Amino acid sequence: MITKPLQVGNVQLNNNVFLAPMAGYTDYPFRHVALKCGYGLAFTELVSAKGLIYGGRANEELVFCGHDIDKTAVQIFGSDPLSMRQACECELLKDFKIVDINMGCPVPKVFKNGDGSALLTDIHKAESVVKECVKSGKIITVKIRTGLKTGDDIATEYSKMAEEGGAKLITIHGRVRESYYSGEPDYNAIYKAKKSVSIPVIANGGIWTEQDADNMINNTGADGIMLARGGIADPFLVSKLTNTPNPCSLKEFIIEHTKQIEQYYAPRRAVLEFRKFISYYLKGLLGVKEAKLAIYSKEDFDRVREIINDIL
């Protein structure tokens, strides 16, 4: 894959490889260590627009960026146009230049509330959300799926709507809602959408290796890619794609991640937050089953780091 700088509105990004918004994973500690590996842009976990308006510690935690603000976009979800605009304009988002609208989340509790991928059922409401958010003065981007069920292909229609509504970039997860995160991406749907608009199109879904990235770009003509679980399983995949030297070894990356989590969360929660990364980080290594069980039983990060040192 050939990487290149990318212009999004009036923001120039170093490259076109992005870190996806992933609920429960792309919190500040992970984004902070991941950005050092070469991403052009990282996204926060999805944040409720209404939650941002009414404030609260949980929302402050979700959007915290430290010194990484210039390489971080915030993703919000909701379906009420006015509330979405108010969220874009709220104090917690004042330092963000780019706000992404989630129109792809497949989770039932989000969908049933009319948010996330539910917006793919009502293009007029989706358009109103985009247009209202653009009025905030933020650079607005949109993330969609190719549809709701197998056989759907609404990516072109929604990409045109997003561009006409004032969005400066669209990301297409090449799967329908009912597929969640499995199955082959629909390259053709992304390809047709890319050909239909002049704003950048980022392709997402099923990218675990350099070959997957090449296949995605070659088959879709997309302007860039977005790594999700593949960027956790191989923290240095972005380095390989962007020809960026690895900033550290895998062991050092994991240890630094533990330290960032330890500083950010209360002790008990810190260990719990870290545990969900272990299966990704240690997959394929000898003795991984025993190491995982040992880590899951510990509530002390010093002991966790000892186990990581032993296996790596």
Q: How far is CA 236 from CA 31, 42, 216, 230, in A?
A: 13, 15, 18, 10
Asked about 90 being catalytic, the answer comes back as no
Tokens of 146: 């190719």
Nearest-angstrom CA–CA distance, 242 and 225: 11
Active-site entry in 88, 105, 133, 248: 105
**What sign does the dihedral 13-17-19-21 (CA atoms) show?**
positive
Nearest in space to 22 (alpha carbons), one of 124, 107, 99? 107
Nearest-angstrom CA–CA distance, 270 and 263: 8
Active-site amino acid positions: 105
